[in-house]
Amino acid sequence: MKLHLVRHAAASDIAPSDAERELTREGREQARIAGAALARLGATPNQILTSPLARARQTAAIIAQQLNFGNEVAVFDELLNDCSTAHLLRALKTFADASEIILVGHMPSLAEHLAVLIGSKNPEALSLGKASIASVELDDLRPGRAELRWFLRQKQLRLLAS
């Protein structure tokens, strides 16, 4: 299974609550670039899962559009920052038949999940910038079993998308 861990794109600091922060114009462009780069890399996800926060949902929707994704983007509470990797992996077992999944979430949890997946003890070294993507492959949903295939920041994604 391939997992693409995507940090949400740039969001406004002005909103009634943190959960309602929406993407800025720059953030919408970052999400478009991330989606276009995934398309150029041949991504064909069976599922796109997103945190329920507005900025992540919007990022996921733009990526889905760029990929011509035919299914609904699903809200996945396990992508919120206070969810453990063990809990995320248990929840992902529902999608065990999927060959490729995009997960749109937040820092610092995405770096923590990535570190656990690849068996690293240093999540700080795996920090994803806005609309950056880390891609791993794994045969089973267990800690330390994933192989990091690539890690691309917005600057590299922009080059791929153009």
pLDDT digits (tens, 9 = 90+) for 35-65: 999 999 999 999 999 999 999 999 999 999 9
pLDDT for 75 equals 98
In order, the DSSP letters of 41-110 are TT---SEEEE-SSHHHHHHHHHHHHHTT--SPPEE-GGGSTT--HHHHHHHHGGGTT-SEEEEEE-TTHH
Is pLDDT of 162 > 90?
no
pLDDT, residue 139, reads 92
Rounded CA gap, 92 and 102, in Å? Answer: 11
User: Per-residue pLDDT for 97 more than 90?
Assistant: yes
Q: What is the CATH number of the domain that holds 90?
A: 3.40.50.1240
Q: Is pLDDT above 90 for 99?
A: yes
This prediction has a pTM of 0.96
Give the domain extent around 142: 2-161
Count up the domains in the chain and report the number. 1
pLDDT tens sequence across 108-159 = 999 999 999 999 999 999 999 999 999 999 998 999 999 999 999 999 999 9
Token pair 């990535």 in the structure block, residue: 114
Give the 3-state secondary structure percentages of the chain, helix then strand then coil, rounded to 5.
40, 20, 40
pLDDT band with cut points at 50, 70 and 90 for residue 161? very high
